[in-house]
């Protein structure tokens, strides 16, 4: 099963290596990873999508929490968060298919960022379903290159955590 | 007052009350060594950096204080790695200081450069590369704090040599504040009450005590829980000494080379109270066959150890001593009469035994060392058969007297650890129980021991084999002794001892064992006793790897 984990860490060099090293040393496979500064510049947030059963996930959380530079580990529950990914796709076109491709891009609400005679560069942000649909629609025309950021996620229930690991709303 | 980085480092060590520093000089720690020349800290020059880390480890295990070692950059630092990994696996508080090439050269493949923070990331509790002289004092304070609190472990501080020479105001922080690091000490009161009830309701409870109990000095609390409630106790290799093996409730060690009665008791128990033990595979054997009828209470300071291997019914995260103190208030004595009787019968029926004939057998040597030292010695071991015989036949009665590389199984650990232990506890009689293979992994430390007048006694159980591997080859590889025979290539250990200025003894007959030990104990010098034991003696009982722990070879139980 796929899990989306959010890890608040000290914004220091080497922290990413500690986290990724921990995952690789224990044989946990990362399917997506995105890192960025939070509202507090001394804190970074890593959004990690991992696959594994409950026991594996429990170990991932506990082992991550053991790292000195980790402030908090949050395991997002289904339905309690939004997630987004940015994707750039270069798709091949011909005078015959150009119109069809542009319609497909419009249909999923993606944007054309650059065009040439032979290809289109498309930008899209969205959740997994949207990105998947876009790729499925474009695949028949010939995808030349895909670049994606990895997913980021945010709690939507109001029970989320701030950069310092404290709850959003004090109860 | 302004000080150089090297001075600041020494001041930090003084503030942390570091008495002994184990290490080896080199180009990138010269500024520090220059300051050490006048510092009120005892410096022990080892002959190989690996020994510096093991000696710091042995010092820490014997005293409960944090061990400190230092090495230069590159090869000096990488030579520490085995010792750091050993300490990490066994949760030993240690601070390792390494020199690094000048900060502006880092990443340039400079002479003797190695990314030691990168190399040691998976085998340290935490590590630092000091980038700014202004951070040095804070980092040292944090390093000692992290190493010795929570689940202890090694912390490495890598200091570029230019930072050792730069100047800054010295200010040692009073307190440490790391927002991501807040170990839990007090156990959850509700869980403690649940545990107390489970113990009170049990019919066949057993304590399973690990190294964590020794680290948290919970020996008294373990003993109270066991004796007041008549609960049998079994210990891991690292837990030996937490409860006296000589007590009738003790079952000695469990697991792969544990006693038959300990393994049988665990498998038959209805409640396991695990204290500072992590259900290592050498203890559990085949996991899904482990203790099928038992509820499990697990007391551990590391939440990640709980339910990692074995599903736990009542987890209590925190310090073993604190939790057991509280637990002891709530437990009502369970009715264990039948259980204790059954176990006593097993103990009678399946004792640890060996062939008692005229041959020179290692088990006999361990028994004689126990008697000659009244069980008061600090026993360090190497790794292999020697280690298991020590665990089985020296009856440990006190905590911090069994020093052994349990988690990593590091050959070459025992002798440098003995040096560290002897320096930490000068009054103690320190032994290194060694094999002829293991002792040769750090034999150069004879120089360190002799130079510092350390009366460590090395008992080599010499069978001219890498014995434990040979045992596996005998049992599981059809006697094909592939490269485990050292016959004909062994040094003359007596001459070797003498070459270093130590005392050497050769013992080939059973009747000479005790007189030799007694004589060695009277010698105020490092002594090697080369015991030529039965060459193909095996360690029994033995659970083959991957089997259930009651499926023992040579344990008297089917």
Query: Of B122, B129, B179, which is closest to A71 when you measure between CB atoms?
Result: B179
- B302: which chain A residues are within 8 Å (Cβ-Cβ)? 66
- Tell me the C-alpha distance between B546 and B60, whole Å: 33
Flag whether residue B178 sits within 8 Å of chain A, measured between CB atoms: yes
Tell me the shortest Cα–Cα distance from A46 to chain B, in angstroms: 15
- A55: which chain B residues are within 8 Å (Cβ-Cβ)? 307
Give residue A169's pLDDT. Answer: 66
Tell me the shortest Cα–Cα distance from A63 to chain B, in angstroms: 6
Is B121 in contact with A62 (Cβ distance < 8 A)?
no
Flag whether residue B121 sits within 8 Å of chain A, measured between CB atoms: yes
Q: Could you identify the residue written with the tokens 């290539």?
A: B489
Is A25 in contact with B303 (Cβ distance < 8 A)?
no
- B178: which chain A residues are within 8 Å (Cβ-Cβ)? 68
Tell me the shortest Cα–Cα distance from A127 to chain B, in angstroms: 31
**B255 and B518 in contact (C-beta within 8 Å)?**
no
CA nearest to A62, candidates B91, B355, B307, B315: B307
Flag whether residue A58 sits within 8 Å of chain B, measured between CB atoms: yes
Q: What is the pLDDT along chain B (558 residues), one digit of tens a residue?
A: 899 999 999 999 999 999 999 999 999 999 999 999 999 999 999 999 999 999 999 999 999 999 999 999 999 999 999 999 999 999 999 999 999 999 999 999 999 999 999 999 999 999 999 999 999 999 999 999 999 999 999 999 999 999 999 999 999 999 999 999 999 999 999 999 999 999 999 999 999 999 999 999 999 999 999 999 999 999 999 999 999 999 999 999 999 999 999 999 999 999 999 999 999 999 999 999 999 999 999 999 999 999 999 999 999 999 999 999 999 999 999 999 999 999 999 999 999 999 999 999 999 999 999 999 999 999 999 999 999 999 999 999 999 999 999 999 999 999 999 999 999 999 999 999 999 999 999 999 999 999 999 999 999 999 999 999 999 999 999 999 999 999 999 999 999 999 999 999 999 999 999 999 999 999 999 999 999 999 999 999 999 989 999 899 986 544
- Tell me the C-alpha distance between A50 and B106, whole Å: 34
Flag whether residue B117 sits within 8 Å of chain A, measured between CB atoms: yes
- B124: which chain A residues are within 8 Å (Cβ-Cβ)? none
- A65: which chain B residues are within 8 Å (Cβ-Cβ)? 303-304
- A62: which chain B residues are within 8 Å (Cβ-Cβ)? 303-304
- Tell me the C-alpha distance between B279 and B269, whole Å: 16
Is A25 in contact with B126 (Cβ distance < 8 A)?
no
- B117: which chain A residues are within 8 Å (Cβ-Cβ)? 14
Is A65 in contact with B304 (Cβ distance < 8 A)?
yes
User: Which residue does chain A place closest to B177, by CA atoms?
Assistant: A68
Helix axes B49-63, B414-424, angle to 10 degrees: 50
* Chain A interface disruption, residue of B88, B127, B304, most A CBs within 10 A: B304
Task: Classify burial at B509, counting beta carbons within 10 Å of its beta carbon; exposed 0-12, middle 13-18, buried 19 or more.
Answer: exposed
Q: What is the CA radius of gyration of chain B?
A: 24
Is A18 in contact with B121 (Cβ distance < 8 A)?
yes
Q: Check whether A171 has a pLDDT greater than 60.
A: no
The pair of three-digit structure tokens given for residue B149, joined into one six-digit string: 């609190």
Give residue A166's pLDDT. Answer: 76
Is A68 in contact with B118 (Cβ distance < 8 A)?
no
Give residue B183's pLDDT. Answer: 95
Give residue A56's pLDDT. Answer: 87
Task: Classify burial at B62, counting beta carbons within 10 Å of its beta carbon; exposed 0-12, middle 13-18, buried 19 or more.
Answer: buried
Taking CA B105 as the corner, what is the angle to CA B101 and CA B107, rounded to the nearest 5 degrees?
A: 100
Q: Which of residues 284-303 of B touch A (CB under 8 A)?
A: 302-303
Is A164 in contact with B146 (Cβ distance < 8 A)?
no
**B209 and B174 in contact (C-beta within 8 Å)?**
no
Is B146 in contact with A21 (Cβ distance < 8 A)?
no
The sign of the torsion formed by the CA atoms of B378, B380, B386, B392 equals positive
Three-state DSSP class for B113?
coil
Flag whether residue A80 sits within 8 Å of chain B, measured between CB atoms: no
Q: In what order do the strands lie in the sheet with B233-235?
A: B250-253, B233-235, B205-209, B271-275, B295-300, B314-317
Is B180 in contact with A66 (Cβ distance < 8 A)?
no
Flag whether residue A71 sits within 8 Å of chain B, measured between CB atoms: yes
The pair of three-digit structure tokens given for residue A1, joined into one six-digit string: 């099963």
**B431 and B378 in contact (C-beta within 8 Å)?**
yes
Is B181 in contact with A18 (Cβ distance < 8 A)?
no
Is A17 in contact with B118 (Cβ distance < 8 A)?
yes
Tell me the shortest Cα–Cα distance from B24 to chain A, in angstroms: 28
* Chain B interface disruption, residue of A19, A68, A71, most B CBs within 10 A: A68
Tell me the shortest Cα–Cα distance from B83 to chain A, in angstroms: 19
Give residue B487's pLDDT. Answer: 93
Helix axes B362-372, B513-522, angle to 10 degrees: 40
User: Which residue does chain B place closest to A24, by CA atoms?
Assistant: B122
Is B146 in contact with A68 (Cβ distance < 8 A)?
yes
pTM, full prediction? 0.95
Is B179 in contact with A165 (Cβ distance < 8 A)?
yes
When the pLDDT of each residue in chain A is averaged and rounded to a whole number, the result is 92
Query: Of B125, B181, B308, which is closest to A59 when you measure between CB atoms?
Result: B308
Task: Classify burial at B278, counting beta carbons within 10 Å of its beta carbon; exposed 0-12, middle 13-18, buried 19 or more.
Answer: buried
Flag whether residue A136 sits within 8 Å of chain B, measured between CB atoms: no
User: Which residue does chain A place closest to B130, by CA atoms?
Assistant: A13
Digit-coded pLDDT (tens) for B313-366: 999 999 999 999 999 999 999 999 999 999 999 999 999 999 999 999 999 999
Q: How far is CA A102 from CA A98, A106, A116, A139, in A?
A: 6, 6, 13, 13
Is A59 in contact with B181 (Cβ distance < 8 A)?
no
The sign of the torsion formed by the CA atoms of B289, B295, B300, B304 equals positive
Query: Of A9, A22, A68, which is closest to B126 when you measure between CB atoms?
Result: A68
Give residue A163's pLDDT. Answer: 77
Q: What is the CA radius of gyration of chain A?
A: 19
Give residue B555's pLDDT. Answer: 66
- Tell me the C-alpha distance between B269 and B205, whole Å: 6
Is B126 in contact with A63 (Cβ distance < 8 A)?
no
- Tell me the C-alpha distance between B232 and B249, whole Å: 5
* Chain B interface disruption, residue of A66, A74, A164, most B CBs within 10 A: A66
- Tell me the C-alpha distance between B63 and B59, whole Å: 6
Flag whether residue B107 sits within 8 Å of chain A, measured between CB atoms: no
A130 falls in which pLDDT band (50, 70, 90)? very high
| Residues sharing a CB contact under 8 Å with residue B299, sequence separation 6 or more, in sequence order | B187, B195, B212, B273, B274, B275, B276, B316, B318, B320, B323, B324, B327
Is A65 in contact with B125 (Cβ distance < 8 A)?
no
A29 falls in which pLDDT band (50, 70, 90)? confident
- Strand B233-235 and strand B295-300: the pairing is unpaired
A165 falls in which pLDDT band (50, 70, 90)? confident
Is A67 in contact with B180 (Cβ distance < 8 A)?
yes
- Tell me the C-alpha distance between A114 and A120, whole Å: 6
Give residue B360's pLDDT. Answer: 98
Query: Of B117, B180, B304, which is closest to A62 when you measure between CB atoms?
Result: B304
Three-state DSSP class for B214?
helix
Is B178 in contact with A68 (Cβ distance < 8 A)?
yes
**B419 and B457 in contact (C-beta within 8 Å)?**
no
Give residue A2's pLDDT. Answer: 87
Digit-coded pLDDT (tens) for A33-80: 999 999 999 999 999 999 888 888 899 999 999 999 999 999 998 889
């Amino acid at each position: 099963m796929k899990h989306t984990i959010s890890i608040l860490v000290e914004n220091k060099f080497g922290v990413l290596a500690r986290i990724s090293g921990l995952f690789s040393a224990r044989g946990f496979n990362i399917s997506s990873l995105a890192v960025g500064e939070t509202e507090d510049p001394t804190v970074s947030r890593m959004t990690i999508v991992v696959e594994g059963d409950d026991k594996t996930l429990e170990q991932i959380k506990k082992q991550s929490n053991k790292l000195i530079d980790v402030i908090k580990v949050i395991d997002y529950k289904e339905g309690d968060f939004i997630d987004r990914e940015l994707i750039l796709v270069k798709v091949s076109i011909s005078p015959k298919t150009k119109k069809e491709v542009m319609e497909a891009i419009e249909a999923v609400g993606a944007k054309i960022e650059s065009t040439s005679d032979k290809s289109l560069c498309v930008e899209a942000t969205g959740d997994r379903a949207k990105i998947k649909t876009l790729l499925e629609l474009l695949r028949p025309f010939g995808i030349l290159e895909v670049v994606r950021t990895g997913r980021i996620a945010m709690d939507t229930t109001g029970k989320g955590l701030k950069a310092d690991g404290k709850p959003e709303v004090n109860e | 007052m302004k000080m150089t980085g090297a001075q600041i480092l020494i001041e930090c060590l003084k503030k942390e009350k570091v008495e002994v520093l184990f290490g080896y000089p080199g180009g990138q720690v010269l500024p520090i060594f220059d300051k050490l020349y006048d510092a009120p800290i005892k410096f022990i020059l080892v002959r190989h950096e690996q020994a510096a880390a093991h000696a710091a480890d042995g010092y820490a295990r014997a005293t409960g204080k944090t061990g400190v070692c230092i090495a230069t950059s590159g090869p000096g630092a990488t030579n520490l790695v085995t010792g750091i990994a050993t300490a990490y696996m066994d949760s030993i508080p240690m601070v390792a200081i390494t020199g690094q090439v000048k900060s502006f050269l880092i990443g340039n493949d400079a002479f003797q450069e190695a990314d030691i923070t990168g190399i040691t990331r998976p085998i340290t509790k935490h590590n630092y590369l000091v980038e700014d002289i202004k951070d040095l004092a804070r980092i040292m304070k944090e390093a000692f704090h992290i190493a010795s609190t929570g689940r202890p472990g090694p912390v490495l501080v890598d200091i570029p040599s230019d930072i050792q020479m730069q100047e800054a105001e010295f200010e040692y922080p009073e307190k440490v504040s790391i927002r991501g690091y807040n170990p839990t000490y007090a156990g959850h009161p509700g869980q403690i009450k649940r545990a107390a009830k489970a113990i009170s309701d049990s019919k066949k409870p057993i304590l399973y005590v690990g190294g964590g109990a020794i680290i948290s000095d919970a020996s008294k609390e373990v003993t109270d829980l066991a004796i007041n409630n008549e609960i049998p106790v079994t210990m891991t290799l690292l837990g030996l000494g937490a409860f006296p093996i000589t007590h009738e409730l003790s079952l000695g060690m469990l697991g792969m080379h544990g006693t038959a009665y300990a393994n049988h008791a665990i498998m038959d128990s209805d409640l396991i109270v695990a204290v500072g033990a992590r259900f290592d595979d050498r203890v559990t054997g085949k996991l899904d066959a482990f203790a099928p009828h038992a509820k499990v209470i697990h007391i551990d300071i590391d939440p990640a150890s709980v339910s990692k291997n074995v599903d736990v019914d009542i987890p209590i995260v925190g310090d073993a001593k604190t939790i057991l103190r509280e637990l002891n208030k709530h437990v009502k004595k369970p009715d264990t009469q039948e259980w204790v009787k059954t176990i006593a019968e097993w103990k009678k029926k399946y004792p640890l035994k060996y062939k008692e004939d005229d041959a020179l057998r290692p088990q006999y040597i361990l028994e004689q060392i126990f008697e000659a030292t009244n069980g008061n010695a600090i026993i360090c071991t190497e790794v292999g058969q020697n280690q298991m015989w020590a665990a089985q036949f020296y009856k440990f009665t006190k905590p911090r007297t069994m020093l052994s590389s349990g988690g990593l199984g590091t050959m070459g650990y025992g002798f440098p650890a003995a040096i560290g232990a002897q320096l930490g506890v000068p009054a103690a009689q320190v032994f290194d129980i060694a094999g002829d293979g293991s002792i040769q992994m750090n034999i150069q430390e004879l120089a360190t021991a002799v130079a510092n007048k350390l009366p460590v006694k090395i008992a080599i159980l010499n069978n001219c084999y890498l014995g434990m591997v040979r045992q596996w080859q005998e049992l599981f590889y059809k006697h094909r002794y592939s490269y485990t025979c050292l016959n004909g290539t062994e040094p003359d250990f007596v001459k070797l001892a003498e070459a270093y200025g130590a005392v050497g003894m050769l013992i080939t007959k059973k009747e000479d064992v005790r007189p030799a030990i007694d004589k060695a104990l009277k010698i105020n010098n490092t002594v090697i006793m080369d015991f030529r034991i039965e060459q193909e003696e095996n360690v029994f009982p033995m659970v083959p790897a991957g089997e259930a722990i009651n499926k023992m070879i040579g344990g008297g139980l089917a």
